[in-house]
Structure 1
Amino acid sequence: MNYQTYFAPHFQSSNQLLSRNDEMVLQLIQQSIQGERNDELFYDFLIKLAPTREEQEIIAGIRDDERKHRSMFKTLYTQLTGMAPKVSDEGTEPLPASYLEGIEKALIGELKAFEKYRKLYLHINPQYRDWIFEIMTDEIKHASYYNWLYAKNK
């Protein structure tokens, strides 16, 4: 792997590569808009399964962050393209059979989201990196909470 290309794609001079990166960034943002909506709906369901008020509040805080992220991604997409993103308010993820299964799925989902957002961070215009950094750090915080909830309920 060429790490200079991976960590500093702006060093590439090919217009074709830049266009491909721009398209990739827009696709990741669109995927993220739907992903954040899926997470929000999924966490609404987990709140209902949570055995304690404390756990409900933790998951509700995470859900509220996902709403914030979705709004940020929609704004970002609009700023980059001049058009509002085409989005669905419907969820596309199956619901878990149990609370513990849901917590495990949420933990893995938050870590995968972090990986996707790290890729976005490395390829997006530097003026937007603070936005992506905020979302990335929230995702790591969420994973930590879900790890604690999983250990507590296992």
Structure 2
Amino acid sequence: MNLYPGNIIQEYSSYPFAFTPVQYQTQPVLPSYQMYQTNLQAVLPLLRRTIQGERNDELFYDYLIQNAPSNQDKEIITSIRDDERRHRQMFKQMYYALTGQTIESTDSMPFERPPSYLAGIEKAIFGELGAVELYRKIYFTIPYTVFKNMVFEILTDELKHASKYNFLYAKNK
């Protein structure tokens, strides 16, 4: 019994990707697919960098909270800062589970005060979007579904944060 119309295969045959089931592949995985393979050695430095980055974000957001022009702004940024704290703990748990070693973040990076609250919000927007790019790399390289699920949660939080900062930017412009 044919469940699909006769032309459905033709419609998708021009699709730009052609996948061959793994058991039928005669060549090693192409380099373009390497970014989708888990790699413990590649993910560990990314996790270390991320743990420090989340700490720096938390300190920066403390500054924004102190300089927020309204209670609504303070509440929004406080919720984001609290998420960043939770993310740092989650990344530290992943690192410990993968290595058996604890990792602590330091306050070694000097804090650069933005010229204005609005400039700080703009910096926060692009910081959150940059984090999404980094966390996507972590998602692709980290082993085990449980860690991928944790990274996915964090990644979607970062997208939500960028949207909230975008709202604050538009509101205060």
Q: Same fold (TM over 0.5)?
A: yes
Which of 29, 34, 45 pairs up with 1:5? 34
Match of 2:59 in 1: 41
**Larger Rg belongs to:** 2
> Is there any run of 5+ residues in structure 1 with no aligned partner, and where?
11-20
Q: Describe the SS at the equivalent of 2:112.
A: coil
Match of 1:142 in 2: 161
CA distance in 2, matches of 1:113, 1:93: 18
> Is there any run of 5+ residues in structure 2 with no aligned partner, and where?
1-29
How does 1:90-129 map onto structure 2 within 5 Å? Answer: 90-127=108-145, 128-129=147-148
Match of 2:100 in 1: 82
The yes-or-no answer on 1:60 pairing with 2:89 is no
| TM norm structure 1 | 0.87
**What's the offset of the Cα at 1:95?**
1.8
| TM norm structure 2 | 0.78
Q: Is the 8 A contact 2:65 2:74 kept in 1?
A: yes
Match of 1:71 in 2: 89
Q: Describe the SS at the equivalent of 1:84.
A: coil
Q: Deviations over 1:95-129 (max 9, x none)?
A: 21110000000000000000000010001113210
What percent of counterpart residues are identical?
Answer: 53
Please say which of residues 140-149 and 91-100 is displaced more in the overlay: 91-100
**What's the offset of the Cα at 1:85?**
1.1
Compare the two structures and name the one with the higher helix fraction: 1
**What's the offset of the Cα at 1:89?**
4.0
Q: Is the 8 A contact 1:38 1:92 kept in 2?
A: no
Q: Describe the SS at the equivalent of 1:39.
A: helix
Q: Describe the SS at the equivalent of 1:116.
A: helix
Q: RMSD of the alignment, in Å?
A: 1.5
CA distance in 1, matches of 2:157, 2:109: 21
Q: Is the 8 A contact 2:55 2:105 kept in 1?
A: no
